[in-house]
Copies of this chain bind each other. A is one copy, B any other.
Amino acid sequence: MATFMDKGALQDRIKVQGELVRQMKKEIKPKEEIQAEVSKLLELKKQLGSDADGASGKFVLKCPKGTRDYDPFQMAIREGVFDVIKRCFKRHGAVSISTPVFELKETLTGKYGEDSKLIYDVADQGGELLSLRYDLTVPFARYVAMNKIKQIKRYHIDRVYRRDQPRMTLGRYREFYQCDFDIAGDYDLMIADAECVRVISEILSELQLGNFLVKVNHRKVLDGMFEACGVPKEKFRTICSAVDKLDKTPWEEVRKEMVDEKGLAPEAADKIEGYVKLSGGKKLLDMLLADQALIAVKDAATGLDEMKLLLDYCELFGVLDNVSFDLSLARGLDYYTGVIFEAILTGGNSGDTKSEVPAVGSCAGGGRYDGLVGMFDAKGKQVPCVGLSIGIERVFSILEARAKGVGGKSVRTVETQVFVASAQKNLVEERMRVCRQLWDAGLKCEMMYKKNPKLLNQFQYCEKELVPLIVIVGEDERARGGVKIRDSVTRAEEFVLYPDLVGEVQKRL
């Protein structure tokens, strides 16, 4: 038998040993026994020659790295955001579907290019190999292919998982929500695509996130541009992913990557520079349509014609002012085939709240992916698709900060309408009876779970949670066959008889 273990096996061994020690501590084993196992553990760690994580035996009370809990305040905001988004998706006739949080590993294989390394796998405990979903688009395409659907417009709001380096201050998490809206079906050019731009615009406007811009571009325009600049065909994809970095990286660095790392001819890079600096509206389009070198390339000409249609339709939908045709937009994902878009928040005033919104960059994206469903079909049958995804985490950070800020609207975390209180002892049963009456009428009602709570505590709760009405039960009132209703704001109190209670409460709400 081998006495040598490789690093992986050693790490595994350390984990098991660490688990054993933790277990023994939990079981409160004799100290000597635990110490013996700790010694073995330390010996193993010495072999590894490093401080292996997770083997310290210390119990850590936390969420996994890159994830977070939502507290009631955050949940109230989140629900509000989801409401706005859902209502918009429904306003555009989308149905809702839901897929499992994990997929067969092979369903995700080959869809995300280099990013595949960020996929979370489920441990192989026998049975199928599974991975947590990386986005909602690939599961949607799998759903469409599996059910042989030819046309569907659906939304799906759910969490996705990426083992990325978390930067939580920037709203980058390992578990985060995506709000997706997609239109699948073989339709005429750009109508559905333009509706996606409209949907993004409606949502960003309604959420009052300040100014925003929906950058649009087209895979074919990009490819045509590369060809016109003399980029060899086999370098299209790698040069495209260099261009994709332009929103975060200065041109000089991107140029260096193209020329030094990726072996692009310097004159080709210079020509690309001339294009990727361009952004604008219909005028830019006209300028490009007059660019003979560019429109001599078939892909470019096709792409530009389609862009013209897109901009026309965006105008009809009333959203052209927020659209910018941007030749530097080159979204990374492999599966896009036509129009691509990305929305960025550019700061400014938020509307009725009069607060300034920071410019936080990208908060939505999407595009056309006509080939993805076909990858799942046994016969390669295609179903063209276009869709968008709202990344809610950054939006959420803005709204959370706003709600916490001065002048922010107060956010209620409970919806309680009536609190049933008592000023005297021995009235718990009376309070329960009254609660029953109110619940039976469908009213939102609470009482304290103490037999004899202090009146002050009950009032404080109502003040903190903005409960509008308080029903006060008391011995005198009971003797007279009723209770008092107190208005939390005016503090006015009025006696009402039991049979009138529900009606009187409803009248005041």
Q: Which residues of A contact B (CB under 8 A)?
A: 15, 19, 22-23, 26, 53-54, 59-65, 67-72, 75-76, 78-79, 90-104, 106, 109-110, 120-125, 127-130, 132, 142-143, 145-147, 154, 159, 161, 163, 175, 183, 185, 187-188, 191-192, 194-195, 198, 202, 312-313, 316-318, 376, 378, 413-416, 428-429, 432-433, 435-436, 439-440, 442-446, 448-451
Contacts and interface: CB of A to CB of B under 8 A. Distances in A.
A95 B416 contact: no
A31 to B, nearest CB: 18
B451 A93 contact: no
Given A23-B110, A91-B444, A449-B192, A98 B69 contact: yes
A143 B72 CA distance: 12
B444 A90 contact: yes
B120 A120 contact: no
Most buried by B among A26, A65, A122: A122
A15 B444 contact: no
A317 B202 contact: no
Contact of A313 (B185, B317, B432): B432
A48 to B, nearest CB: 14
8 contacts: A61-B145, A69-B147, A75-B97, A91-B444, A120-B125, A123-B124, A191-B451, A198-B436
A414 B90 contact: yes
Given A72-B154, A451-B188, A125 B121 contact: yes
Contacts of A448: 187
Given A97-B70, A97-B75, A316-B429, A91 B121 contact: no
A451 B67 CA distance: 46
B90 A432 contact: no
Contacts of A154: 72
A156 B101 CA distance: 17
A398 B63 CA distance: 36
B125 A163 contact: yes
A184 to B, nearest CB: 11
A450 B187 contact: yes
Contacts of A121: 122-123, 125
A153 B147 CA distance: 41
B102 A64 contact: yes
A109 B25 CA distance: 12
Contacts of A183: 449
A443 B91 contact: yes
B110 A96 contact: no
B93 A70 contact: no
Contact of A128 (B54, B159, B195): B54
A292 B94 CA distance: 66
Contact of A109 (B23, B316, B446): B23
B125 A122 contact: no
Nearest to A313: B432
B123 A64 contact: no
Contact of A202 (B61, B78, B161, B439): B439
Contacts of A128: 53-54, 64-65
A416 B92 CA distance: 7
Given A187-B450, A317-B432, A317-B436, A63 B120 contact: no
A153 to B, nearest CB: 8
A147 B62 CA distance: 10
Given A75-B97, A97-B75, A104-B60, A449 B191 contact: yes
Contacts of A198: 436, 439
A316 B433 CA distance: 6
Given A23-B110, A69-B143, A120-B122, A188 B450 contact: yes
A426 to B, nearest CB: 12
